[in-house]
Amino acid sequence: MTEPRIRDPKALRALSHPFRWKLINLLTEEGAQTATQCSERLDESVASCSYHLNMLAKYGFVEEVESPGRQKPWRIAKKREAISPDGLDPEGAMAAEAAALAYVDQQFEMLRERLIARKLLPWEWRDSVGTIDSVKFLTVEELAEYKAELEALLRKYKERADDPSLRPEGSRPVRLFLGVTVAPEHE
């Protein structure tokens, strides 16, 4: 299953700001949040959170939730989209690369923070948290098949992200990050 690609260089540039990925991650894991709540969780000013949420909204990544009060909560608007420079003009390719690198930087920052905080987890969670690394020698066809199998595993329990009523008692947001790279050829 291939996600739609972001083709607009301006939308890609909007994703090249590292703090915007923090907001996206927070809204993904915690659900709708106001700028004030984002400020408290991310240790950033309310004004900064509001500005970056509005920038993400401008390109359709987040949206306001109907709310009776003055505070306006924001939620994720687009669940999955791919970032790739393939098929883009040079400006778009540079914007895609910047957005992808900001995303990866944010994922590794979060991974570092959570590995450090692992010692604070209850014992029953600790054994399942960590990193795994593996090198396989594959053909391009085998890699495509292997990646598709891993992506299918990553989609397991997806409905729980979309519908909180499906989450079992005691469940917590668990982030799985899959990076697939290939070594350069040596001549």
Kind of pairing between the strands at 74-76 and 62-64: antiparallel
What's the CA gap between 119 and 115, in Å, rounded? Answer: 8
Q: What is the pLDDT along the chain (187 residues), one digit of tens a residue?
A: 467 889 999 999 999 999 999 999 999 999 999 999 999 999 999 999 999 999 999 999 999 998 777 889 999 997 778 899 999 999 999 999 999 999 999 999 999 999 999 999 999 899 888 888 899 999 999 999 999 999 999 989 988 987 889 999 999 999 888 888 898 887 7
Residues 108 and 60: beta-carbon distance below 8 Å: no
Look up tokens 């083709």; give the residue.
7
Spatial CB neighbours of 37, under 8 Å, sequence gap ≥ 6: 73
The model's pTM is 0.84
Spatial CB neighbours of 55, under 8 Å, sequence gap ≥ 6: 14, 17, 20
What's the CA gap between 39 and 23, in Å, rounded? Answer: 10
* Backbone angles phi and psi of 71, in degrees to 5: -70, 135
Helix, strand, coil percent content, the chain, rounded in steps of 5? 55, 5, 40
Q: Which numeric CATH code is attached to 9-166? A: 1.10.10.10
Q: Is 127 left (phi over 0), alpha (psi -120 to 50) or beta?
A: alpha
* Backbone angles phi and psi of 31, in degrees to 5: 85, -165
